[in-house]
Amino acid sequence: MNTLLQCLVNATVMLTIACGLVAFLLRRLNIVTPRLRQAVLFCVILQGLMLFRLPVELPWLDNTTPAATLQSSVTFAGAIPSAVITADDQTWTKTSGDSDRAEQGLWLTSTTPTRMSIPGVDIGVDHLVAAVVSIWLTGFLVVVLRGFLRYRGLCRTIDRLDRAPESWQSEWAEACRLRGRVAPEMLVSQSAGPMLVRRPQGYSLVVPHRYWSSLSKHQRRGVLLHELAHLCRHDVWRQLIARTAASLHWWNPAAWWCVRRYEESAEWLCDEWLTQTDPAAAKGLASSLVQLVEFAESQAIPDARVIRGVGVQSMAAPPLTERVTRLLKSSPRGDSVMKRLFLVLLAAGLMAISTVQFRLVAAPADGDGSATPSDERPGLRVLSADSKDQLQSLRGRLNTDDKLTAELNALLATESGQVAFAGAVDQLEQREREKARDEAIPRFVKKHFETTSNGKLILREQSKSTAASWVKRSKQLGNVLDEMHKEMKLIADRLDDSSEVNEMARRIMTDEHAGFAIVLGEFDGRSDPIDLFLGKALEKILVRKGDKMVVIPTLSGEQIRQIERFEKATEVAARLRKELPAFADEFALVDQRHKDFVAAMKDPAAAAIVAMQVTKDDSDFVSEAVDRLFDQLEKVSRDTPKGLVIDNEEAWRGINELMESVGRASQRVDAVRERMMQIADSVDTSDPTTARLATQLRTGVIAFQAAADIPYAEFDLSKQVTGQISQSLEPVGNNGLRVRDDMAAQVSVKAQELLTASRTIRRYLRRVDEVCDSMQDRQLAESLGGPGRMLLLSEIRRSAEQDQVRSLDELARELFTVDEATNQLTVRPDRAEAVGRLAQRAKELEAELSKDDF
């Protein structure tokens, strides 16, 4: 839905800008050529019609190795935890190197930074997006329905009209014969017309009887040739395209302005054709237009107005005065060659913008398009402004009194030095990532188990509750994978054998570990909706520091205020737990909904949910927020002999929504609280801001709000996966399926990646089996059989991510020594050779940076 809204906004902006530009140029240059005007306006209308554009890659950027384009981060031990060196501020996305990383088993140590956001922060944005899209879709449907009803009414009116007299029919047939056309049916109305109408059964020409009778044969010929021009040019269908594009932007006056000007240009173009081919008929048309104005003004009946809309080309379209003037000029003035050339180029540019989306990609290094390895040719990368700021912050901590450190400081002052330093960090990070992957299982075992003298593994005391959650979650993961395999097998059975890509798709969908590979790759190994929701919700405010998580030091003010809001809401909830039940006793139990309302107000979850609602305004103090709530309840209630009652139906709608949220929160809060306690235990409470968040995770209202917001009803992992798979398939034959031609290449690459990941999973599962076989608690080992082994594998993967960050801390200590008194960084003497290599690399990049700097 976000993608649709983004495409719609982009199309609206492009349409409005193009419309303003063209309107200015048409007026400024005084363009009089109708064909040119119509072509340019049609290209403007296409801006609004092309919501999705064809991507075209331009080989402009310099070719670099995948490692040089990835984000790299190093947390320097003893330094500020946020001293991160990054290539950009975005999370990594899959590149052409993904298959290589999967083959190396890199899935075990994810390169995606762990960033988390508070539940509820993005909920309002999602609701706003859904509301905007719903309003747009409703407006579009209303416009389409209105146009359809008007068209249907017009067709019904025309169906009741009589055929024109034979003499009129013969004139119309003769005019069409001269152009090699079969004359459509000619009908007479009381006052509507002249107009060419496209009905389901074909075209019809409608003329007003009294008006047509008043015209001379010469004048009628001019009108008939004008309508014949519309017929030959298929203007009705062109108009339909224009109005469809405008309907997509029904709220935008620029779209409707373009449609009106486009239809006006169509009239001018037919008039111009008539002026050039039959000047006498053109003069007859001009005089008939004058009579048409007089005729329309003399009518008192409603249908004397100009009929416009889908399927209609009305000769009476304004402005008539300018049309008459142009018709009477036997040699209409044309536009200069420069004006024509300029507008043709403008039209071509608008057409390109409306249909093509240009993307800058890496240029091939040689004629065969192969990339040059990074050790053969210096590669370039672009550092974001934030990354440069962070490097400057690092420079400020360097001890420039030391010669070697001063050299590194001078190197980081140049752009080429910054790029070289970031590239070196990438290589070092890759080494540490491989080390973390190789040691992942031994470290996981050491963290949770003790080894006895006979080599058996005994669960550590502090890990027993964690092991219990493993067993519980493994059952849930097993159910999800079973359902996923069932759905994937149904699809595999329907795939035909017509191509190799179909056979590859069948192979991956029948692989026993492909489902788990998808869960690992797409959902980070999480099959529980609570894990998925909290993982996404917290990823924007937490980041790992060693084996702990801390609030991002550079967190925005808005997110800090969100934590403050949770703290205030917790205070409000503590007061409401006492005051809400007391106030609920004031209500009379006159019907079932009053009884449900009173019961909900006495539920502890109600205090938390209501507290979150009443603390949206940061200006409120706790007492003000509570008093404002009860004031609102008093306003919608009235006193009766038995107590308070609520008669306001609008208030009941809001109360019903509140009671639904309270019910969801009360039902799920224990499971959410348990997961939040685990998260709170994993954070570093030595940081003041992180400690505040941990307190809210343990005791605050955040658990109730998250429990109410988790989309259990919409969560079905197997259906999400099979739905994504189905988007790449199309029906064939009798209930068969095949991979779409335009998706064949992507499916082939994805299947190869999943097969590689499945083989890696099987290799690591054999190692997990060895761990389970060594467990002294056989009941735990048996409980972790089957899907439990896969769950342990996902836990080992997360543990490896933590170890990866800790290894980078050790790497930083290898490069620098830290002065505890001044907190300054000094390059270790034995790292002089590394600084020299960085300087040499910077020189190699300098030429590339100066050449490609634009």
* Single-letter code of the amino acid located at 694: A
- pLDDT score for 96: 36
pLDDT in tens, 785-832: 888 888 888 888 777 765 554 444 555 667 788 887 887 888 888 888
Q: 427-433, long-range: CB within 8 Å, 24+ apart, which pairs?
A: 427/67, 428/74, 428/811, 429/72, 429/73, 429/74, 429/808, 430/67, 432/804, 432/807, 432/808, 432/811, 433/106, 433/109, 433/111, 433/804
107: three-class secondary structure by DSSP = helix
Are the C-beta atoms of 189 and 208 separated by less than 8 Å? yes
What whole-number distance in Å separates Cα of residue 303 and Cα of residue 323? 23
Percentages (nearest 5) of helix, strand, coil residues in the chain = 65, 10, 25
List CB contacts of 402: < 8 A, sequence separation 6 or more. 826, 827
Q: 810-819, long-range: CB within 8 Å, 24+ apart, which pairs?
A: 810/77, 811/74, 811/428, 811/432, 812/74, 812/75, 812/76, 812/77, 812/79, 813/77, 813/78, 816/76, 816/79, 818/77, 818/78, 818/79, 819/399
What whole-number distance in Å separates Cα of residue 398 and Cα of residue 413? 12
- pLDDT score for 326: 63
- pLDDT score for 694: 83
What whole-number distance in Å separates Cα of residue 323 and Cα of residue 312? 19
Strand partners, 205: 186, 196
423's enclosing H/E stretch is: helix 415-438
- pLDDT score for 522: 59
Q: Which two tokens stand for residue 507?
A: 């192979």
What whole-number distance in Å separates Cα of residue 808 and Cα of residue 72? 11
Mean pLDDT of 478-495: 85
pTM: 0.40
What whole-number distance in Å separates Cα of residue 706 and Cα of residue 793? 27
- pLDDT score for 78: 31
- pLDDT score for 99: 37
List CB contacts of 606: < 8 A, sequence separation 6 or more. 576, 580, 600, 658, 662
CA atoms within 13 A on the CB side of 249: 31
What whole-number distance in Å separates Cα of residue 29 and Cα of residue 32? 9
Residue 741 sits at φ, ψ, to 5 deg, of: -60, -40
Poorest-pLDDT segment among 405-419, 557-571, 754-768, 806-820: 806-820
Average pLDDT of the residues of the chain: 74
Q: Which two tokens stand for residue 393?
A: 């912050």
Are the C-beta atoms of 806 and 546 separated by less than 8 Å? yes
- pLDDT score for 266: 86
pLDDT category at 61 given cuts 50, 70, 90 is very low
- pLDDT score for 838: 82
Are the C-beta atoms of 197 and 204 separated by less than 8 Å? yes
pLDDT category at 100 given cuts 50, 70, 90 is very low
Every domain of the chain and the residues it spans: 139-343, 558-668
What whole-number distance in Å separates Cα of residue 703 and Cα of residue 696? 9
Whether residue 295 is predicted with pLDDT greater than 50 in this model: the reply is yes
Q: Which two tokens stand for residue 847?
A: 């030429």
Whether residue 351 is predicted with pLDDT greater than 80 in this model: the reply is no
More confident of the two residues 841 and 324 = 841
More confident of the two residues 677 and 96 = 677
For the ranges 161-170, 509-518, 724-733, the one whose mean pLDDT is highest: 161-170
Strand partners, 444: none
pLDDT in tens, 754-765: 888 888 888 888
What whole-number distance in Å separates Cα of residue 174 and Cα of residue 375? 80
Nearest C-alpha neighbor of 95 from the set 108, 83, 111: 111
pLDDT in tens, 247-272: 888 888 888 888 888 888 888 888 88
CA atoms within 13 A on the CB side of 598: 18
List CB contacts of 253: < 8 A, sequence separation 6 or more. none
Are the C-beta atoms of 187 and 205 separated by less than 8 Å? yes
- Strands 457-459, 449-451: pairing kind: antiparallel
Mean pLDDT of 141-167: 88
pLDDT category at 551 given cuts 50, 70, 90 is confident
Whether residue 471 is predicted with pLDDT greater than 50 in this model: the reply is yes
pLDDT category at 530 given cuts 50, 70, 90 is low
Are the C-beta atoms of 850 and 843 separated by less than 8 Å? no
- pLDDT score for 91: 31
More confident of the two residues 401 and 86 = 401
- 16-36 exposure pattern, b = at least 16 Cβ within 10 A, e = fewer: bebbeebbebbeeeebbbbeb
Are the C-beta atoms of 305 and 208 separated by less than 8 Å? no
pLDDT category at 325 given cuts 50, 70, 90 is low
CA distances from 581 to 19, 470, 586, 608, 666 (A): 60, 39, 9, 13, 16
What whole-number distance in Å separates Cα of residue 762 and Cα of residue 733? 36
